[in-house]
Amino acid sequence: MLGLPKGSLEESTKSLFAKAGWKITTSSRSYKPSINDPELDGRFIRAQEVSRYVEHGFFDCGLTGYDWIQENGSDVVEVCDLVYSRASVLKSRWVLCVPEASDITKPEQLAGKRVATELVGTVKRYFEKKGVSVDVEFSWGATEVKVPDLVDAIVDITETGNSIRANKLRIIDTLLETNTKLIANKASWANPAKRKKIETIALLLRGALEAESKVGLKMNLPRTALDGVVKALPSLRNPTISQLSNVEWVALETIIDENVAREIIPQLKELGAEGIVEYPLNKVVY
Amino acid sequence: MLGLPKGSLEESTKSLFAKAGWKITTSSRSYKPSINDPELDGRFIRAQEVSRYVEHGFFDCGLTGYDWIQENGSDVVEVCDLVYSRASVLKSRWVLCVPEASDITKPEQLAGKRVATELVGTVKRYFEKKGVSVDVEFSWGATEVKVPDLVDAIVDITETGNSIRANKLRIIDTLLETNTKLIANKASWANPAKRKKIETIALLLRGALEAESKVGLKMNLPRTALDGVVKALPSLRNPTISQLSNVEWVALETIIDENVAREIIPQLKELGAEGIVEYPLNKVVY
Amino acid sequence: MLGLPKGSLEESTKSLFAKAGWKITTSSRSYKPSINDPELDGRFIRAQEVSRYVEHGFFDCGLTGYDWIQENGSDVVEVCDLVYSRASVLKSRWVLCVPEASDITKPEQLAGKRVATELVGTVKRYFEKKGVSVDVEFSWGATEVKVPDLVDAIVDITETGNSIRANKLRIIDTLLETNTKLIANKASWANPAKRKKIETIALLLRGALEAESKVGLKMNLPRTALDGVVKALPSLRNPTISQLSNVEWVALETIIDENVAREIIPQLKELGAEGIVEYPLNKVVY
Amino acid sequence: MLGLPKGSLEESTKSLFAKAGWKITTSSRSYKPSINDPELDGRFIRAQEVSRYVEHGFFDCGLTGYDWIQENGSDVVEVCDLVYSRASVLKSRWVLCVPEASDITKPEQLAGKRVATELVGTVKRYFEKKGVSVDVEFSWGATEVKVPDLVDAIVDITETGNSIRANKLRIIDTLLETNTKLIANKASWANPAKRKKIETIALLLRGALEAESKVGLKMNLPRTALDGVVKALPSLRNPTISQLSNVEWVALETIIDENVAREIIPQLKELGAEGIVEYPLNKVVY
Amino acid sequence: MLGLPKGSLEESTKSLFAKAGWKITTSSRSYKPSINDPELDGRFIRAQEVSRYVEHGFFDCGLTGYDWIQENGSDVVEVCDLVYSRASVLKSRWVLCVPEASDITKPEQLAGKRVATELVGTVKRYFEKKGVSVDVEFSWGATEVKVPDLVDAIVDITETGNSIRANKLRIIDTLLETNTKLIANKASWANPAKRKKIETIALLLRGALEAESKVGLKMNLPRTALDGVVKALPSLRNPTISQLSNVEWVALETIIDENVAREIIPQLKELGAEGIVEYPLNKVVY
Amino acid sequence: MLGLPKGSLEESTKSLFAKAGWKITTSSRSYKPSINDPELDGRFIRAQEVSRYVEHGFFDCGLTGYDWIQENGSDVVEVCDLVYSRASVLKSRWVLCVPEASDITKPEQLAGKRVATELVGTVKRYFEKKGVSVDVEFSWGATEVKVPDLVDAIVDITETGNSIRANKLRIIDTLLETNTKLIANKASWANPAKRKKIETIALLLRGALEAESKVGLKMNLPRTALDGVVKALPSLRNPTISQLSNVEWVALETIIDENVAREIIPQLKELGAEGIVEYPLNKVVY
């Protein structure tokens, strides 16, 4: 039984599993998806709750954020990281923010004030460790608009900081970095058959994620240019080189980062490559 | 400053205020609406939090459900009830449910089990009063699908019981009846100018709500039929009767329940009424 | 039990019943609506099939088109006409069409040819009466695009003739005029209690339809202008005239066609009317 | 032939005509609407061009903004103002804006610089009058984002100033105030039959606009309270007072501003009014 | 001329042809698409009617379900099967259903009762063969909600049985299995040029369908591991093995089922494969 | 700084850059996109204005149509053509049109008449060159519906001529052929670093465009069939042929036009090819 995160991660999770080879089909209003693998059964529940039910054992494994594993204090196995978005290499962060115009620059200055957050437990532990007495309120949403009208500070999640700036807030501390993780129930992990299945899921999800930022590249090269190309372009790691019928030419094929492709293709052309072709990938497993 | 409930009640709240005479305009992603009354400023926040910030004094008054006033234990003035929906005269209820197929019929049988709900405080107090030890978990949503997989019972809100039945649940107790209320901060209520404004808001919101289930009805009657009509149809309360130029006829005008109109109009016609006209209303204040 | 037409008439039917005083609520994918009248239960089925199940007795009454009553040859009571749309006073017609460019001008010229239609029975009877042998095919939809590629002629429904012209077709005969009707099962109609309920539904649906093209109009008039107004404007039928406190003025109130209002208001102003007010109506029952 | 503004005013124009008594039906992609009045034919074209074709005589009359009548220098009759929106009583303004952070405070400081606008002719004449030499560029849209990157200043339209502030601009002058007008071709206006029709349109459009911000109000009053009410509430202008059967009570009916209703209803109740009812209006013609 | 199925299969048919190399572009409301192949002209008509017009000869070939070929009794060539959906390997079935709670378990028990279906001819023949006298009614849609209110049993189509269960029905027999087929007119099939074109269409549509459930897989292998891999993984059929420059390694490339990929990739990694890459395919033709 | 065309080309431009390797992310209402390349900054502005701001130097390079470069008379470097759409190989054309039913067949016959167009400068120059005096009006949009009501002729853009025919117009001359171009500011082009970056953009955009109409094709062939295949199929240009382990077979791989694939695949099969696989491409650089 697999715990899947409902809500903002739902579509990208289904898309990631599809690339990994599992088609997850949901009907509207249902939390029981169908999966085209008789060995797998799944449920969509809120990301905040996945780790709780993995720990209780209803799920053998599940996907959720590190933040909620921490907030819930769940005793689970963290199998692997799955950083979904390729838009940025930054992890998401839970940050303590005050109004831009405020004088406050340190957490200590919030003593006796009110702080709103969705991550109440984590925030309370943070201030307790610092010995600062603060009134931490659970926020049901739209936390970023609550300062300064309703509370003095907030702890909210941000990826790029854009929404922080748009709401005229200033970050004074980072409490937690987080990303999606595949987690497993401890007993399920100790069961060899279940563990093997969980590891297969991990391998293929990572292979699908890897492929999102990678492309295949192939070209023909004069044999004489081969050394120059390989030396000049260290990012062409482990190229597969095969002899063409015409003995003066070789075919070179490799996998590279999509971002690198736009720099390397002009160079390859200058170095004598012909018929350069870039093609998309489904999965990359080293 | 007025606290308005964001989310499922947002559109109907704006529509109710429009009928009452205040146009509330929101831009997307903003929680600060503009209101066409220089004396009124408002904020949209989650219904769950309105009573907290009315009690703290940021809002002078606000609209929220009785359930969340109770859950938050907020010390506020309850100015008036505003039962929004005319579809039903039932109030919403928070009910304790178990699977249809379960043997459990009384709360006491849940001792030692897990119950999920959004109303954690209220549910904990309910079981404490009964002396039953239960593990109450906060549910982030979709509570109704959690039994029997994730928990043993739930406490959820329902208006008609349809979603309860659709999820194959059975109600074993009702914890709370609830409806929307206009509430006020205690200090604001003690301030005569603020109280007058809050009372005006209450009067007009109730007048607008009243008008939703009422229609105006007018007709011409032969003077001789008047007594028969008034006797036969007690629901035509306090009709306004005015003399027409033709002395043998009178005009009768009144306000009735829309549901009554469909029964009374055929009777009126039989009793001799002519030119029966039904028209819509914006507000009704007795 | 009431049969309601699913599909293109569904929304306007619900809206008409709402104006008549019954709120019909449907959930998606359900054919069992809820109606806020304990005496009424309803089902939404295709308009083509309503008369069949009224005749069989599953429905006591229902709404459907005259065309499908005829096509099915259903033995039912036709209670009243309900011409829904106020956009046009034309009834819909089933017309026999050939390509604009065709030489055919009379049904007899179609002997030995193929005709497509949704109304197979009616069209077969039409050609049999004329003694013309034609191959009539059932069309599953989009009948208007089938000539001349797939068949030689079609019989299709049209309100304004726009779609006929847009598809470059020419009408050569009209087989049937049709509009929505309220029909009743014969046994139900013979039952006094059921008949009374069906008549009430008929009265109020007609009252609501009537109100869609009518408006209320009221104004104040100098007593001296009254005769001139009433003479000059015969469409102000049966005005209600009441004495105002100021004895030189009377209040005149009446119900008129919305289309007439735009012509009569300028005239009223010229004749001395003041404070002319037009207001919307829910129902009009003469 | 009537010229109607396509684009942002299209829906509100159709809705205004509907309230005035004319149903304008457009099919997608067509600029020829159908109107339920055999005397009226219309075309939807861009508001910027309406006055040009009214002047040329293709249209007898049309609706467009004062700004574009001026920009085109069209020689037409301005029949009446039609301020559409009731949300605000401000007219729209074309304003000269510079970046908030700029040192420029007077138009004269823009000598030698570039200004972007949709209203090129008007802006050129404005700077010529001031004797300031400026490079005025036609802007194809999104003018407000062009400063400071692409040009030094802009002239753009604004109703509330919100978009100006949101783009961090500062207004340094207002060139023009504008609102929608009904305009007529000079020859059509000189033709009595056409002028009469245009005046009817003007009367009813204004009646419909007037009704948008008005409501009908009626109530019963003890005869003894009547004077007090009329004195205390001067905004109850020209009430219609009629005697009820019960000689100690009168019925009072009047038309008031919707915004006034929310203030006056509580006062009326205090003064002894009963059965206060507010109802919506379609048209108000004094 | 090619007959294409309008309605539920329309989008997937266009998508399948696009993968096969033909871009079919439809404008809304048109049944004549444009196809980027001067040798092909097509029409979209209801799937129910395609076989009729292939038989008549208007279409040379067309796509439709086996069910409607049978229902229409069309005399056509069945060129090939095209099972569109890869979600399931089940064909769709037309099944005879009664209410879950009914006592009926065999078709014979329906003697004298009413059965609704869209497939009237097929159902009548089915009961005639069994010698059971049943009243078979044409159903215009929503057949699954008609039992038990309107009829005693239905014959409806289902892929997974989900809608059957959701409507609380029980299957008592299967009348027909069906899937999409490419069919041809007999005369067109006898014409060598037309037959060649139809066979090309068949080849490429099947190649595109095949590719939907297949992926390309390539990897590098130590020469020593090659035999082990090929023996252990028989599903790696006909791999293309090529020598790399480094003589101890070979490149292995093959096409496999997407569903197999998720099982085989972990095994390949264990057996020593490196740089395993999976990539998407447009067409696969063996 | 890169100028990007807002509006109808916006989505396809973003999609083209994505294929070329740059992810352009826009938030709604913003004209400043973010691009995942620290060396590139961009702005979205109307295509009509791009060349103006490339010439002024705000942009180093930009994408816009040849038509607007001409209309603006911008002095810029035309780096390369980018014909976006693969649906047609026709370039778009600006054509002079009159009503189908008009007698006019030559531009000279328009002397003294009115012509509407968005491309006022170009059209004026066209008629001046011919010595024909015409009143050229700027059209704010929907130019094609303006004849014959509002003007006598129009100059409008068309790709396939469909909208011309749909509006019952006839083309009497072509003024200009146009397609999207990458253009550069003269000073930026003279700067070696900037020029290198612009050339890289050009190379990759063209590689991405090329790949849209190409596919990769690979198959295994008996060595004996190789010559036949290469001779029979000249469109298989520059195939990469590699030896398989089985010495009697070779692998053949090449890039071909997608339109050619549907013809060549059946031929390849006949000639003995096995395991024919077609796969999609991201970029093709010869």
**DSSP characters for F156-218?**
EEESSSHHHHHTTEEEEEEEEEE-EEEEE-HHHHHSHHHHHHHHHHHHHHHHHHHHHTEEEEE
Helix, strand, or coil here: F64? strand
How high does pLDDT run on average in chain A?
90
Domain-terminating residue out of B211, B230, B259: B211
Rounded to whole angstroms, how far apart are CA atoms D40 and D59? 11
A269 vs F contacts (CB less than 8 Å): 203, 285
Cβ atoms of F99 and F164 within 8 Å: the answer is no
F286 assigned to some structural domain: no
pLDDT band at F28 (very low <50, low <70, confident <90, very high): low
Task: Provide the greatest CA pair distance for chain F.
Answer: 80
Residue C185's CB is within 10 A of a number of other CB atoms, namely 26
Q: Phi and psi dihedrals of A42, rounded to 5?
A: -140, 165
Same domain, D159 and D224: no
Residue for token digits 């954690």? B120
Instruction: Check B276 against C243: CB less than 8 A apart.
Output: no
A251 vs F contacts (CB less than 8 Å): 240, 242
Chains in contact with B, counting 3 or more C-beta pairs less than 8 Å apart as contact:
A, C, D
Instruction: Check E142 against C31: CB less than 8 A apart.
Output: yes
Residues in chain A: 286
* pLDDT (0 to 100) of residue B167: 86
How high does pLDDT run on average in chain F?
90
Q: What is the dihedral of CA C131, C133, C138, C143, to 10 degrees?
A: -90
Same domain, C126 and C266: no
Same domain, A81 and A198: yes
E36 vs F contacts (CB less than 8 Å): 87, 259
Tell me which residue range forms the domain holding B60.
2-87+180-211
Query: Over pLDDT 90: what percentage of chain D?
Result: 65
Which of A7-16, C215-224, D187-196 is least confident? A7-16
Instruction: Check D276 against B255: CB less than 8 A apart.
Output: no
* pLDDT (0 to 100) of residue E31: 79
Rounded to whole angstroms, how far apart are CA atoms B255 and B214? 7
Instruction: Check D58 against F31: CB less than 8 A apart.
Output: no
| Residue A46 Cα, gap to closest chain B Cα (Å) | 7
Query: Over pLDDT 90: what percentage of chain F?
Result: 66
C-alpha to C-alpha distances, D69 to D51, D124, D150, D188, nearest whole angstrom:
6, 16, 28, 17
How high does pLDDT run on average in chain B?
90
Q: Which one of B265, B275, B277 has the shortest CB-CB distance to C204?
A: B265
Cβ pairs bridging C and D (under 8 Å): 72
**pLDDT greater than 80 at residue C30:** no
pLDDT band at D239 (very low <50, low <70, confident <90, very high): confident
Rounded to whole angstroms, how far apart are CA atoms A11 and A8? 7
B285 assigned to some structural domain: no
pLDDT band at E86 (very low <50, low <70, confident <90, very high): very low
**pLDDT greater than 80 at residue E44:** yes
Mean predicted confidence (pLDDT) in C27-48: 86
pLDDT band at A48 (very low <50, low <70, confident <90, very high): very high
**pLDDT greater than 50 at residue A252:** yes
Whether F and C touch (3+ CB pairs < 8 Å), yes or no: no
**pLDDT greater than 50 at residue F22:** yes
Same domain, D35 and D107: no
Same domain, E27 and E156: no
Chains in contact with F, counting 3 or more C-beta pairs less than 8 Å apart as contact:
A, D, E
Q: Is the ipTM of this complex over 0.95?
A: no
Q: Which two tokens stand for residue F151?
A: 């003007």
Rounded to whole angstroms, how far apart are CA atoms B153 and D11? 51
**pLDDT greater than 80 at residue F122:** yes
Same domain, B44 and B119: no
Rounded to whole angstroms, how far apart are CA atoms D279 and D233? 19
Residues 6+ apart with CB under 8 A from A176: A66, A67, A70, A93, A94, A119, A122
Strand partners, D181: D64, D81
Q: Sheet containing C214-222: which strands, arranged edge to edge? A: C240-243, C249-257, C214-222, C274-279, D283-285
Which of C240-244, E218-222, F25-29 is least confident? F25-29
Instruction: Check E203 against F265: CB less than 8 A apart.
Output: yes
CATH of the domain at B232: 3.30.70.120
CATH of the domain at B139: 3.40.190.10
How high does pLDDT run on average in chain D?
90
Question: Is F167 or B57 the better-scoring residue by pLDDT?
Answer: B57
Same domain, A151 and A202: no
* pLDDT (0 to 100) of residue E237: 67
Q: What digits encode the pLDDT tens for the residues E228-241?
A: 888 877 766 678 88
Which of A161-175, B89-103, D19-33, D130-144 is least confident? D19-33
Same domain, F130 and F265: no
| Nearest residue of chain F to residue E35 (CA atoms) | F87
Question: Using only C-alpha atoms, what is the Rg of chain F?
Answer: 24
Which of F160, F246, F257, F262 to mutate to probe the E interface, most E CBs <10 Å?
Answer: F262
Mean predicted confidence (pLDDT) in B96-102: 94
Q: Phi and psi dihedrals of E95, rounded to 5?
A: -125, 150
Mean predicted confidence (pLDDT) in E243-257: 85
Rounded to whole angstroms, how far apart are CA atoms E34 and E20? 16
pLDDT band at E29 (very low <50, low <70, confident <90, very high): low
Q: What digits encode the pLDDT tens for the residues A90-124?
A: 678 999 999 998 999 999 999 999 999 999 999 99
Q: Which two tokens stand for residue F87?
A: 């649906």
* Angle at CA of residue B108, ends B104 and B114, nearest 5°: 75
E31 assigned to some structural domain: yes
Secondary structure of chain B as H, E, C letters: CEEEEECCCHHHHHHHHHHHCCCEECCCCCCCCEECCCCCCEEEEEHHHHHHHHHHCCCCEEEEEHHHHHHHCCCCEEEEECCCCCCCCCCEEEEEEEECCCCCCCHHHHCCCEEEECCHHHHHHHHHHHCCCCEEEECCCCHHHCCCCCCCEEEEEECCCHHHHHCCEEEEEEEEEECEEEEECHHHHHCHHHHHHHHHHHHHHHHHHHHHCEEEEEEEEEHHHHHHHHHHCCCCCCCEEEECCCCCEEEEEEEEEHHHHHHHHHHHHHCCCEEEEEECCCEEEC
Same domain, B59 and B103: no
A285 assigned to some structural domain: no
| End-to-end CA gap in chain A | 28
Sign of CA dihedral C72, C75, C76, C81: positive
Note the Cα D80 to chain centre separation in Å: 10
* pLDDT (0 to 100) of residue E87: 46
pLDDT band at C112 (very low <50, low <70, confident <90, very high): very high
**pLDDT greater than 70 at residue C8:** yes
Q: Which one of A259, A263, A280 has the shortest CB-CB distance to F280?
A: A280
Mean predicted confidence (pLDDT) in A130-140: 95
pTM, two decimals, is 0.85
C-alpha to C-alpha distances, D142 to D6, D113, D116, F50, nearest whole angstrom:
19, 19, 10, 13
* pLDDT (0 to 100) of residue C86: 41
C285 assigned to some structural domain: no
Domain-terminating residue out of A117, A151, A177: A177
Residues 6+ apart with CB under 8 A from D152: D98, D104, D110, D113, D114, D115
Cβ atoms of D16 and D205 within 8 Å: the answer is yes
Burial label for C156, CB within 10 Å (0-12, 13-18, 19+), is buried
Exposure string of F185-222, with b = 16+ CB inside 10 Å and e = fewer, is: beebbeeeebbebbbbbbbbbbbbbbbbebbbbbbbbb
- CA nearest neighbour of B99 among B36, B135, B153, B63: B153
Residues 6+ apart with CB under 8 A from E11: none
Element (H, E) at C47: helix C47-56
F285 assigned to some structural domain: no
- CA nearest neighbour of A213 among A261, A254, A252, A179: A261
* pLDDT (0 to 100) of residue B90: 61
Which of A115-119, A172-176, F31-35 is least confident? F31-35
Residue for token digits 């009226």? D40
Q: Which one of D137, D139, D149 has the shortest CB-CB distance to F58?
A: D149
Which of A145-159, A239-253, B153-167, E139-153 is least confident? A239-253
Provide residues of F within 8 Å CB-CB of chain E: 87, 215, 220, 242-245, 251, 258-259, 261-263, 265-266, 269, 274-280
Cis peptide bond N-terminal to B148, omega within 30? yes
**DSSP characters for F131-163?**
T---EEEE--S-GGG-TTTT-SEEEEEESSSHH
Question: Is F220 or E286 the better-scoring residue by pLDDT?
Answer: F220
| End-to-end CA gap in chain B | 28
**pLDDT greater than 50 at residue F40:** yes
Q: Which one of E6, E58, E146 has the shortest CB-CB distance to C142?
A: E6
Rounded to whole angstroms, how far apart are CA atoms D223 and D225? 5
Rounded to whole angstroms, how far apart are CA atoms B84 and B94? 17
Question: Is C35 or B244 the better-scoring residue by pLDDT?
Answer: C35
Cβ atoms of A144 and A163 within 8 Å: the answer is yes
* pLDDT (0 to 100) of residue F86: 41
Which of C178-192, E80-94, F46-60 is least confident? E80-94
Which of B115, B150, B163 to mutate to probe the A interface, most A CBs <10 Å?
Answer: B150
Mean predicted confidence (pLDDT) in D261-281: 92
Query: Over pLDDT 70: what percentage of chain C?
Result: 96
Cβ pairs bridging B and C (under 8 Å): 72
Same domain, A96 and A69: no
B142 vs A contacts (CB less than 8 Å): 6, 31, 45-46
Cβ atoms of F86 and E36 within 8 Å: the answer is no
Helix, strand, or coil here: A28? coil
For chain C, strand residue ranges (E) read 2-6, 24-25, 34-35, 42-46, 61-65, 77-81, 92-99, 114-117, 135-138, 153-158, 169-178, 180-184, 214-222, 240-243, 249-257, 274-279, 283-285
- CA nearest neighbour of C21 among C286, C235, C285: C285
- CA nearest neighbour of F56 among F183, F179, F170: F183
Whether B and C touch (3+ CB pairs < 8 Å), yes or no: yes
Domain-terminating residue out of C195, C211, C227: C211
A145 vs B contacts (CB less than 8 Å): 31
* pLDDT (0 to 100) of residue C49: 95
Which of E86, E220, E271, E277 to mutate to probe the A interface, most A CBs <10 Å?
Answer: E277
Residues in chain D: 286
Q: Which one of E21, E36, E240 has the shortest CB-CB distance to F251?
A: E240
Cβ atoms of C120 and C138 within 8 Å: the answer is yes
Q: What digits encode the pLDDT tens for the residues F127-146?
A: 999 999 999 999 998 898 89
* pLDDT (0 to 100) of residue A161: 81
Cβ atoms of C277 and D283 within 8 Å: the answer is yes
C148 assigned to some structural domain: yes
Q: Sheet containing D153-158: which strands, arranged edge to edge? A: D135-138, D114-117, D153-158, D92-99, D169-178
Rounded to whole angstroms, how far apart are CA atoms D36 and D163? 39
**pLDDT greater than 50 at residue A88:** no
Q: What digits encode the pLDDT tens for the residues A193-218?
A: 999 999 999 999 999 999 988 999 99
Q: What digits encode the pLDDT tens for the residues B69-94?
A: 999 999 999 999 998 754 445 678 99
C64 assigned to some structural domain: yes
Same domain, A8 and A67: yes
Helix, strand, or coil here: D9? coil
State the total domains in chain E: 3
**pLDDT greater than 70 at residue C90:** no
Instruction: Check D46 against F140: CB less than 8 A apart.
Output: yes
| Residue E265 Cα, gap to closest chain A Cα (Å) | 8
Strand partners, F2: F42, F61
Residue for token digits 């059967």? D245
* pLDDT (0 to 100) of residue C97: 97
Q: Phi and psi dihedrals of A22, rounded to 5?
A: -115, 125
Provide residues of A within 8 Å CB-CB of chain F: 87, 215, 220, 242-245, 251, 258-259, 261-263, 265-266, 269, 274-280
Rounded to whole angstroms, how far apart are CA atoms E182 and E201? 9
Same domain, E255 and E130: no
| Residue B234 Cα, gap to closest chain C Cα (Å) | 20
